[in-house]
Amino acid sequence: MSSSAPARNLLGTLSRIFVVVLIAAGLGLAVPGLSQAAPAAGPQASIAAAPTIFGVLPDAGPIAGGTEFYLFGTDLTGTTSVTFGGVPATNIVVNDDEYLTGNTPAHAVGAVDVVVTTPGGSATDTGGFTYQAAPVVTGVAPPTGSYLGGQDVTITGTGLSDATDVTFGGVESPTVFWVGDSLVARTPPHAAGLVDVAVTTPGGTGTLANSFTYIATPSAPRSVTATGGNGRATVSWLAPASTGGSPITKYTVSSAPEGRTCVVGGAALTCAVPGLTNGRAYTFTVTATNALGTSPRSAASAPVTPATVPGPVRGVRVVSSPGPGETTVSWLAPAANGGAPVSGNRIRVSLPNNPSVYGPWVAIGGNTRAITGLTRGANYRVQIAAGNRVGYGPVTTFAFKQPNVPGPIRAPRVASFPDAGRAVIAWTWPVSDGGATVTSYLVRVSRPNQPTVFGPWMSTPRVQMTLAGLTLGANYRVEIVAVNSQGGSTPVGFGFRQPNTPSAIQSPRITSYPSPGAAAAVWQRPVSDGGAPILRYLVRISEPNSSTVFGPWRTAGSNSWTFTGLTKGASYKAQVIAVNSQGNSPLTTFGFRQATTPSAIPSARITAFPAPGQAIVAWVRPASDGGSRVTGYMVRVSRPNSTSEFGPWIRTTATSKVLAGLRKGAVYRVQMAANNSQGTSPLGTLSFTQQK
């Protein structure tokens, strides 16, 4: 139990004992639980010491006595008596030199001295124990509360100030505290019913019998029944088996569905629920309410259906038009059946484009009707009514137009020629589907070059089709029909020519030799692409000096190709094919000789010594450029009077070069070579003596 004021007595006693123990420890006295050095032994007489009292626990109790107490002190061995207000205690047991136990004697209310006597003398604890009268409980407010507990209750009476415990029906309160001069206790959980409230203090326990009532919510009402009426139901029930300890103040009746309610006082056992929908089944539950709250819902009543005639059918619609002149309509049952099951429907249809003249009523059992013999494209009205045992409800009228065949397809065309003998045709759907979804298209193709002789119809759900097995270069005619549930549209035709393969490429030739072992070829496009764009070219080249053994085909994206890895001076055959979606052109073959390096420079000579230390060397172009234009020359001069040590190469595009920095009278050796795209010619050499 948590508390503040009610625990003061206990806390005060514990504090006094704690202080006494500390004082005793400071004086070097023997205190239970404390160790100290033994006094030095010496030859002296044994004289009993006078006792001392540190405190008594507990320090309060009832006037009837009998409270077990603990007395703490020193030199208690041999205690001969303990008195409370001069009255001897009973059942004294000395446990050791520091504490003893016993039971308090009876005494009048008030604080009394506690005296302990031993052979060494007496010790007094002035006002060390207080006798208290038992408390008296005179009131509990409020006198009722929930069986779940948790309610703060104010307890009045006398002698409550040192309360140590409060119980409700024998169950201890979890929290006891003081608010001003009032004792407040929080109720613990307890079964519903009338209980005693008891307050315990050191002076005893005071009880106020039947002073607090635990209450619960009522149990559920029983045996709920209902009787249907026109838009209402009368509900009756029996009272709950238990009121929960508090009178029932009201009953609440609820419907399911819709949650319609009615409320009556606690004495009533019947109630009329208004606002119900005729033709709808309801069940009803009842709850009872007392001062604490509301009971669980009762078991539901048996279903009750207020009675009326059926309402109009709903949601009439065209479900499908599955065939020519046929339409299926469907509808939903009425929102209310009038309190009796719908037993059937009746339907009638107007004449074509005449909404005021109807055919006869036809009785049917379901909510779907297939109507046949309709005129495609005509307007109609349908009337439907639902019936039950009372009769047919209001008529629902629905208008619709019978679908027609689709309009003709639009923009037929060839979309592409993907490969040999195939054509992808495409078109645009009709402007009008006739009122029914276009489900497919029919396509047929004429025989090659026979525009009036056709093959069988072919069906596709898409607005394109791939035609296969066509003859290259042949003319064809195609007819296309759009189809819905009512039939096919007027055919739309168009003609096209299936492409052929390209003609042979034109004017193949080698245009240059861009690098060693390389030859750049070019050609002109075929005169005819066959009716389909040129997609690529295939190129291959023979082995060196062979006209029959070729390497693999290579793909060229344009009308040029560079052959590489060729042998200088070797003869080659090259072959080229043009390719479109329909296949390959005829093969075109041409030959060429791979260029080589130039021949050696002839007739090199010194033509002049224009200045001291200078000489002009000149030469004639090589007799052969190797098949590739000479692009320049290289010249280098030896060291003076050396035939093997040369300076760096000097490049020039001319056929002469001024040599400078020469030593007078020295002999020099000059080397020259010509360059083209394939490399360098053999070296040409001359020697001369620099003029002095």
Mean pLDDT of 175-187: 90
Which band of pLDDT confidence, cut at 50, 70 and 90, is reported for residue 278? confident
Using alpha carbons only, what angle is made at residue 306 by residues 305 and 311, rounded to the nearest 5 degrees?
Answer: 100
Q: For 651-662, what is each residue's pLDDT tens digit?
A: 999 999 999 999
CB < 8 Å & 24+ apart, contacts of 153-158 = 153/184, 153/185, 153/186, 153/187, 153/197, 153/212, 154/179, 154/182, 154/183, 154/184, 155/182, 155/183, 155/184, 155/185, 155/197, 155/199, 156/182, 156/183, 157/199, 157/206, 157/208
Answer for the pair 521, 561: CB distance below 8 angstroms, yes or no.
yes
**Separation between Cα atoms, residue 439 and residue 461, nearest integer Å:** 6
Stronger pLDDT, 32 or 494, i.e. the higher one: 494
CB atoms within 10 A of CB 72: 22
Which band of pLDDT confidence, cut at 50, 70 and 90, is reported for residue 359? very high
Which band of pLDDT confidence, cut at 50, 70 and 90, is reported for residue 231? confident
Q: For 36-71, what is each residue's pLDDT tens digit?
A: 333 344 444 457 899 999 999 999 999 999 999 999
Q: Which domains does the chain have, with CATH numbers?
A: 5-34+49-132 (2.60.40.10), 136-215 (2.60.40.10), 222-289 (2.60.40.10), 314-401 (2.60.40.10), 410-497 (2.60.40.10), 506-593 (2.60.40.10), 605-689 (2.60.40.10)
- Report the chain's mean pLDDT, rounded to a whole number: 91
Q: For 156-167, what is each residue's pLDDT tens digit?
A: 999 998 898 999
Answer for the pair 573, 591: CB distance below 8 angstroms, yes or no.
yes
- In DSSP notation, 18-86 reads HHHHHHHHHTT---TT---PPPPP-S----PPPPEEEEEES-EEETT---EEEEEEES-TT--EEEETT
> Hey, what are 397's tokens?
């009228």
Overall size of the chain counted in residues:
692
Q: Which 8-state DSSP code applies to residue 363? A: E
